[in-house]
Each structure stands twice: as C-alpha cells, then as structure tokens.
Amino acid sequence: MIELTVVAPVYNERDNIDRLHAAVTEAVQAQVDDYELVLVDDGSSDGSGPLLDELAAKDPHVTVIHFERNCGQTSAIYAGIKRASGQFIALIDADLQTDPRDIFTLMPYMKAYDFANGTRTKRQDSLVKKVSSRIGNGVRNWITGDAITDTGCPMKLFKKEVAVSYYLYEGFHRFLPTLARMNGFSVVEVPVDHREREFGTSKYGVLNRAFVGLMDAIVIGWLRKRVIRYTIRGD
C-alpha cells in the first residue's frame, strides 16, 4: 500500500499548479517511501486541465481526475479520497495558503489519533474573511454540538479507514472532523501555518463562508443525535 496520498481539489488555479506540484513533491519525497498526489480538476475553465495532464505525463506520482463540469469542493474532495490508495490521506487546497510541509506536523499525531485537523495560526486573510470564518465555525459548532476551532482549514490528515467510512453530500466537506467523530474515530486539532494567496482568486465570499452552510449544519446536528451506538454482549 502507498504510504501517503495527498489530495488537492483544483478549480481555475492555472498559475498555482506547477507551484503546488513542486511544493508537495519537495515536502513529501524525503519523508515517505512512496506517495501519490491526486489532483481533482473540478471543471476548470482557465486551462488548468491540460496543465494537470502534462504533470501526470511527466510524474508517475501524479493522478488526475477531471470532472465534466464544476461540481463543488465536496465532490472534488470525495472523488479524491475515494481514489486514494495511501495508508494516510492528506488534504490541501491548490492555492498553497497552507504549507504541504505541515503534513508532517500532523503526521506524528497519527500514532494516537485517526484524524488531525489543522488550525490556521496568524491567518493571512482579509478581516472580512477572518470574521466570516469565525462566525461560520461558531454557528456550525453550536448547531452540531462539536467544538472544532477551524473546520475550514484545508490542511487535514487522516487514516484510510476514516476515508472509507465517509459518505458525503454537498457541503459536507466543512464537517469532515465532526463526521469522523460521528463514525467512531478520534480527532485532534494541530496548529499549522497560513500564508497569503499569491496567484488566483478565492472561490469563497462572506455569504458562502458564514451562512450557506447553515442548513448543512442543521442536517449534521440532526444526524449526530441519531448515530447508532451499541455493544454486543460477549464481544
């Protein structure tokens, strides 16, 4: 089995693709015996698709998945983790605002936990983004009954068993740590670095950060209260 799979959704990130590949390659090749980079083209319209195919043709570690149309971040993440072969699966955004080297900040926690969620320190975002993200996290935690500081942090690392347990619906990428806990896995939060976006534009604004996930949070909260727990006598 491959030791590590790095999954990155890509949507109109033409200027970041080569940088992403170089950064991930540099971060992981000296740390693990075997790895793969799964890049999911979420219906990009800026020429990202052909660039991804060029990478895959040059680097056998790279696997590319192309969507026929833009399906959203949850779909891209889900397709990536379902394709992943690694014992451990790392998530990272293509914009490189989180550092691939932080995968190995999270990795030591895999000895005691099943899922490590990054928490962005010294966030390099606008005040509006910071405030909307804080509101979004607060509302989600209040509704779901969880206590994840930064569920929107793109940097996540978890075991293959966690990925296998997931069945995601639209918007559920915001709740991956909570869903892992619901499925019986242990979760830890770990501080990671955060950097300014150098190229391209963010795909999220105030409304879809803070308020669009409200109904999703209600659904997760409803499901969390109805998780089946039982122990068979004698087992």
Q: Is the pLDDT of residue 207 over 60?
A: no
| pTM score of the predicted model | 0.84
Out of 38-47, 214-223, 225-234, the most confident range is: 38-47
Could you tell me which of 94, 97, 124, 68 has the C-alpha nearest to residue 12? 94
Q: Residue 192: inside a domain, yes or no? A: yes
pLDDT average, residue stretch 192-218? 62
Please report whether residue 229 resides in a domain: no
Segment among 26-30, 107-111, 226-230 with least mean pLDDT = 226-230
**Is residue 230 one of the residues assigned to a domain?**
no
Question: Does 18 or 193 have the greater pLDDT score?
Answer: 18
- What lies within 8 Å, CB to CB, of 169 at 6+ separation is 74, 219
Distance CA 217, CA 77 (A): 18
Q: DSSP 3-state assignment of 164?
A: helix
Residue 121 pLDDT = 81
Total domains in the chain come to 1
Mean pLDDT, rounded, of the chain = 85
- CB-CB neighbours of 134 under 10 Å: 15
Q: How confident is the model at residue 13 (pLDDT cuts 50, 70, 90)?
A: very high
C-alpha to C-alpha distance for 4 and 141, rounded to whole angstroms: 30
Helices (H), 59-213: 73-83, 103-106, 127-144, 160-165, 176-182, 206-210
- List the structure tokens of 111: 């000895």
The torsion angle over the Cα atoms of residues 108, 162, 93 and 111, rounded to 10 degrees, is: 0
User: What CATH number is attached to the domain comprising 98?
Assistant: 3.90.550.10
Is 216 a member of any domain?
yes
Residue 186 lies inside a defined structural domain of this protein:
yes
Task: Dump pLDDT digits (tens) for 151-203.
Answer: 788 999 999 999 999 999 888 898 899 899 989 999 999 999 877 655 555 55
Domain presence at residue 33: yes
Query: Roughly what angle, to the nearest 10 degrees, separates helices 48-58 and 17-28?
Result: 30
Residue 235 clears pLDDT 90, i.e. is over it: no
Indicate whether 146 belongs to any domain. Answer: yes
Look at residue 131 in the predicted model and tell me its pLDDT: 47
Answer whether residue 150 is part of any domain: yes
Residues 6+ apart with CB under 8 A from 28: 4, 6, 35, 100, 103
**Structural domain boundaries enclosing 95:** 4-224
Instruction: Report d(CA 181, CA 192) in Å as an integer.
Output: 21
CB 113 within 8 A of CB 187: yes
* Structure tokens given for 173: 């990428």
